[in-house]
Chains A and B, each alone.
Chain A
């Protein structure tokens, strides 16, 4: 289809909206309530354009293109409409700007400038609207809300529906549900989908300095894999830029003693999960096994589907394993009192703030991790300290907990945990090397990915001869499902209720695309951006010599010298899940 936007001929596809075509062609149309993850609501009315031959103004986000359509995206009339609607929007959002996740990137302020908006033309309608806190993870300041309802939609899409509309006099208000059967799972998707920063993490940004303040402590930072390819965005680097070593250098500049890589702990998690999977396959118990490194998913199961709790692997999440190792293995080695160590995780996630408060993870009363900062919070801390990741001499993470396998890195993308576990499980079960390490079927952004993986028949026979799972010709068939976007997990769980044998191993990440789309990640986040971040993680993996967790020499050494008893392994690498 050919259409004309601002006198420029453009080739477009039938079924596209004007906004889609404009965005593809880098024509700027303000679109506050539009998010590519969500259904079109068309309520901000900022994306209005003129269409030749059609009266009035039309919203670009909701209008489908037609052959030969002539569209104007800027005119006096359009300018006026956007200006006034912006003024009405600002009247719900009269806030101080210094404490906002959009701080340097605020669409509203940019538009205000462009359209000569008189920000305080109308008085603040939302003055006195309440601030809500959701557990240890999120803050929702409803006095900033502009009623676009992206948060409600995304929470619904997550299958949670914790955010609701409540009629308030003749107007409505967005509030957390009062229904006792609903609870927030701290995925933080509302944060990244709110266009105006009404949601933020707890402590964002007022508490960012806290972990650095106690000078009597040795401060260790550990960063999650998904940060490596996202934090650069906060410094205007292209989406998906790999900045691992710049990140380390930045953290060092803050005066931090050591910087470790959580991907290393992902390798431990992989080895433990592979062991547990084999064990469960052998005993044919609690199958399918569910991953448990996503705390939102764990809470989702505990709260909404407690009958599935036994399916969660007992393996702790990587940040907790590494925190545990730092305060035991590493403290011992360095001869430091673990009480005198502060462990700070930098995570793409706000649920991780909740996870570190779970008491059953404490080791003799000691918390494995003391603070969680989100990607955004660390970027803010950098900026405050005038640290620019664009201009910094890269540094390598510290030894020994600084060198992961490729498998540990891809944990940050949906399918990564599964792929890592399969790489290791395959070799453990069959005793043979994988010819091809990549499991393409579990990669990518689809919400549900299913794959049946064949394990080499000869070796399997010895172990699995008794099991129905074993197929004489094909060997061991492992049926896997990989889910991202927790709303999709509901479908798998419902399927399992009907057919408990549908899968053997299920990976779930609450956020779209996995941790690279986490609630602690830079904004904006959308499907395109998530793809870039994930692609770069796989690129890191592809460039590594050692790509399977169990082959990582660091891991081998630690198992040899430290994690050499069941008890130790259990206290550092395993946990139990609760009926809440």
Chain B
């Protein structure tokens, strides 16, 4: 295989990173390949930490050969490189043996994830592998310029490496993996065209609800809340679609689930995210414990200034994308369901 072939193919395929940031894969590969350095690293991100997202686990379970093949292609494309597969703890336990068998004597090391959700963010992974507290780094420099131990580093998600191997074999058909769950009949992971709309996906998988519902699209913590009439769009983020029964869902409990996750999952490095999420959680918890139940509307009106202020600094001043995106579900839920 010639080095440049795969990058040309990636370019043609228009493959976008499947970790949530949608960065063109070919560009990343090219940057790392062309970077001047005596050593380079490749990291396969299998940290999948957001609730209701489990497609990377599905791929590791069903197509580990393709994933390793994808990494192998990267190793061959990028000179003097070695690789890490960064796995969340349960994936590590579950797939360690299988993966090691496939790795054989390739320069690929399995790394068990430390810390919380943030440790899925690219530069936090680098910190974790370097043995530090997983926290995002200041960017620039970006990992392709200076990553693991300051060497140029290619970080791609499990799903991306899977598709690299498909593209290499000319078997890529512009699909992606969707985790569908919540109040659905046919929960699961589906590989479908990436330009499908949410409603198409739900119909095709026979999951279109026959009750009044709403959707959280992207991921189960920072995905946006969508109403049935908004499902003409594609899924962003990590490709999860979660269905909620509108009558049976307590919005406060749902928001609490998010804040619980975010409290645990953020790194607490920066003021708006650490303190902002803490205060958001505080308000929501107080509401849940309040004996006089409020409607979402009343709740919002009662805390309007504080909520808006917290959303503002989270979105505008957070250090990394987690804090910036954390407002999306709350804001959309309050706006749409009140």
Are A56 and B275 in contact, CB atoms less than 8 angstroms apart?
Answer: no
Contact call A48/B316, Cβ cutoff below 8 A: yes
A45 lies within 8 A of B272 (CB): yes
Minimum Cβ distance to chain B for residue A148 (Å): 9
Asked if B312 contacts A88 (CB within 8 A), the reply is no
Q: What are the residues of chain A within 8 A of B96 when measuring CB–CB?
A: none
CB neighbours (8 Å) of B278 from chain A are 125, 171
Q: How far is the CA of A59 from the CA of B318 in the complex (A)?
A: 10
- Does A40 sit within 8 A of B, measured CB to CB? yes
Given contacts A42-B138, A80-B312, A125-B275, contact A85 B268 (CB under 8 A): no
Q: Answer yes or no: A147 CB below 8 A from chain B CBs.
A: yes
- Choose among A41, A64, A81, A125 the residue that contacts B313 (Cβ–Cβ < 8 A): A81
Q: Is the CB of A122 within 8 A of B268?
A: no
Nearest-Cβ distance from residue A80 to partner chain B, whole angstroms: 7
B133–A165 contact, CB under 8 A? yes
- Cβ-based interface call for A237 (8 A): no
Interface size class of B (residues with CB under 8 A): 20 to 34
Residue among B263, B269, B310, B317 making CB contact with A48, cutoff 8 Å:
B317
Is A84 interfacial (CB-CB < 8 Å)? yes
Contact call A85/B138, Cβ cutoff below 8 A? no
Question: What's the Cα separation between A42 and B140 when bound, in Å?
Answer: 13
- A54 on the interface (CB 8 Å rule)? no
Interface contact A170-B138, CB-CB below 8 Å? no
Q: Do the beta carbons of B272 and A88 come within 8 Å of each other?
A: yes
What are the interface flags for A102-136 relative to B under an 8 Å C-beta threshold, 1 for contact and 0 otherwise? 00000000000000000000100100000000000
Which residue from chain B places its CB closest to the CB of A169 in the assembled complex?
B263
Q: Does B109 contact A (CB under 8 A)?
A: no
Which chain B positions have C-beta within 8 A of A92?
275
- Chain A proximity of B76: nearest CB distance (Å): 35
Residue of B nearest to A149 (CB): B269
When C-beta atoms are compared, the residue in chain B nearest to A64 turns out to be B140
| A122 CA / B275 CA spacing, docked (Å) | 10
Check B133 against A56 for contact (C-beta < 8 Å): no
Interface string of B259-273 (1 = CB under 8 A from A): 000011000111110
Q: Find B270's partner among A45, A122, A171 (CB 8 Å cutoff).
A: A45
User: Given A62-B138, A171-B268, A172-B268, does the pair A45, B313 have CB atoms closer than 8 Å?
Assistant: yes
- List chain B residues, Cβ under 8 A from A91: 275, 279
Given contacts A125-B278, A170-B264, contact A88 B316 (CB under 8 A): no
A57 at the binding interface (Cβ < 8 Å): yes
Contact A43 B313, beta carbon cutoff 8 Å: no
How near does chain A come to B249, taking the closest CB pair, in angstroms?
Answer: 24
**B275 A89 Cβ-Cβ under 8 A:** yes
Task: Give the chain A neighbours of B263 by CB distance below 8 A.
Answer: 170-171
Enumerate chain B residues within 8 angstroms of A40, measured Cβ to Cβ: 138
Q: CA A114 – CA B228 in complex, angstroms?
A: 47
- Residues from chain B with a CB closer than 8 A to the CB of A170 are 263-264, 268
Q: Closest Cβ of chain B: how far from A538's Cβ, in Å? A: 37
Contact B133 A171 (CB under 8 A): no
Partner of B271, one of A80, A89, A171, A172: A89
Which residues in A have their C-beta under 8 angstroms from that of B272? 45, 84-85, 88
A125 and B271 CA atoms in complex are apart in Å by 13
CB within 8 Å for A171 and B279 given contacts A81-B313, A84-B309: no
Q: Mark B318-334, 1 if CB is under 8 A from A, else 0.
A: 11000000000000000
For residue A91, which residue of chain B has the nearest CB?
B275
47-86 of chain A: CB within 8 A of chain B: 48, 56-57, 59, 62, 64, 77, 80-81, 84-85
Instruction: Say whether A322 faces chain B, with CB atoms less than 8 Å apart.
Output: no
Q: Are A42 and B319 in contact (CB under 8 A)?
A: yes
* CB of A427, distance to nearest CB on chain B (Å): 50
Residues of A within 8 A of B269 (CB): 41, 43
A85 with B319: CB separation less than 8 A:
no
Q: Is A320 an interface residue (CB 8 A)?
A: no
B254-312 at interface with A (beta carbon < 8 Å): 263-264, 268-272, 274-276, 278-279, 309-310, 312
A91 and B309 alpha carbons, distance in the complex (Å): 15
A228–B317 CA distance with the chains assembled, in angstroms: 43
The residue in chain B whose Cβ has the minimal distance to the Cβ of A86 is: B271
Bound-complex Cα distance A77 to B279 (A): 21
Contact B312 A44 (CB under 8 A): no
Task: Give which listed residue, A81, A122, A165, contacts B317 with CB less than 8 A.
Answer: A81
B317 engages A88 (CB within 8 Å)? no
Q: Is the CB of B138 within 8 A of A44?
A: no
Please, how many angstroms separate the alpha-carbon atoms of A201 and B316 in the complex? 38
B221 to chain A, nearest CB (A): 14
Q: Is the CB of B264 within 8 A of A85?
A: no
CA distance A146 to B269 in the complex (A): 11
Which residues from chain B contact A147 at a C-beta distance below 8 Å?
268, 271, 274
Of A56, A165, A171, which contacts B316 at CB under 8 A? A56
Taking a contact as CB atoms under 8 Å apart, the answer to whether B319 and A45 are in contact is yes
With A46-B271, A122-B275, A125-B278 already in contact, 10 other A-B pairs whose C-beta atoms are closer than 8 Å: A40-B138, A48-B316, A57-B316, A57-B317, A81-B312, A84-B313, A85-B272, A146-B271, A147-B271, A147-B274
Task: Give 19 A-B contacts (CB < 8 Å), ordered by A residue.
Answer: A44-B270, A45-B270, A45-B313, A46-B271, A48-B316, A57-B316, A64-B140, A81-B316, A84-B313, A85-B313, A85-B317, A88-B271, A88-B272, A88-B313, A89-B271, A89-B275, A91-B279, A165-B133, A172-B268
Interface residues, chain A, with chain B CB atoms under 8 Å away:
40-46, 48, 56-57, 59, 62, 64, 77, 80-81, 84-85, 88-89, 91-92, 122, 125, 146-147, 165, 170-172
**What 6 A-B pairs have minimum CB-CB distances, sorted nearest first?**
A88-B275, A170-B263, A45-B317, A84-B313, A43-B270, A84-B309
